Amino acid sequence: MPDQTPNLSLPFIMPAQAQKHVTHNEAIELLDMIVQLTLEATGATAPPASANEGEAWAVGTGATGDWAGQDGMIATWRGGGWLFVAPRDGWLAWVRDVAELQVLTGGAWVTQGEPDLQNLPSVGINATADATNRLSVNADATLLNNDGAGHQVKVNKAGVGDTGSLLYQTGFSGRAEMGLAGNDDFSIKVSADGATWFTALTATGADGHVQIDQVLRLTPGPVPASPTAGDIYFDDTASVLRCFDGTTWQDLF
């Protein structure tokens, strides 16, 4: 029969053992230290000038003083002296000086549950992401702020024939889209039903010219009292579109 437990190395009371209470108390002392383990700090190399009963430290490399030769051990102050226990990978401890839960991994105490935020397959914030919408956010607003200067929002597409755009929806049905839709010209499109789309405005990437893709509609109104050259006015009484040339109004059509 072994004289210690396999995981925590707690001593067994052996048959016909004298002073059984000594072994029992030793096991209780170890349990009191290990269960709900709290460390004052990890990687400590010098014993504190004073310690309270039951306080414990994870001893680091190159320990000195009363901890010399105890690298990697847990040192706890018990009954006026230091008790050393060898921890095992997988032990959890609350580390008081950094206020975080750490786990012993490969002989080192590391933060437990520290998320790896690189190459996540998807993220849902108050929402459920899916294979298409890998970032999904349900919120009243989304803030993208600067970090000291400017801020850019980048939409990158793979090739000229692909689409990089902002799509505005009503009830998840498209109503307006702006961006590079199938080419490298910047366009603004609208739809009443999400199925039939009209291109309202296009800025060509080749030369920067702006093209009005639909018939121009101007809101009727009074002739400006002090027009400037280039002002356009739609005379709804005569159904005539007029342009001010700097001197007089000219009928366009």
Amino acid at 80: G
Q: What is the dihedral of CA 123, 129, 134, 137, to 10 degrees?
A: -70
**Looking at residue 10, what is its pLDDT?**
52
Look at residue 44 and give its three-state secondary structure. strand
**Looking at residue 175, what is its pLDDT?**
97
Strand 56-59 versus strand 108-111 pairing type: unpaired
Rounded Cα gap, residues 134 and 200, in angstroms = 30
Q: Which of 38, 161, 207 is nearest to 109 (CA)?
A: 38
Rounded Cα gap, residues 213 and 189, in angstroms = 10
Q: Which two tokens stand for residue 26?
A: 């030793």
How is the chain split into domains, by residue range?
A: 36-111, 160-214, 216-253
**Cα angle for residues 142, 146, 147 (degrees, 5° grid):** 125
Q: Is the pTM higher than 0.75?
A: no
pLDDT tens for the chain, 253 residues: list them: 565 555 555 555 666 656 755 555 565 566 656 777 889 999 999 999 999 988 999 999 999 999 999 999 999 888 889 989 889 898 899 999 999 999 999 999 988 766 677 888 999 999 999 999 999 999 999 999 999 999 999 999 999 999 999 999 999 999 999 999 999 999 999 999 999 999 999 999 888 888 887 766 665 666 677 777 777 777 777 778 888 888 888 887 7
Contact 101, 38 (CB under 8 A): no
Which residues does 40 contact at the CB level (< 8 Å), separation at least 6? 48, 55, 56, 57, 95, 96, 97
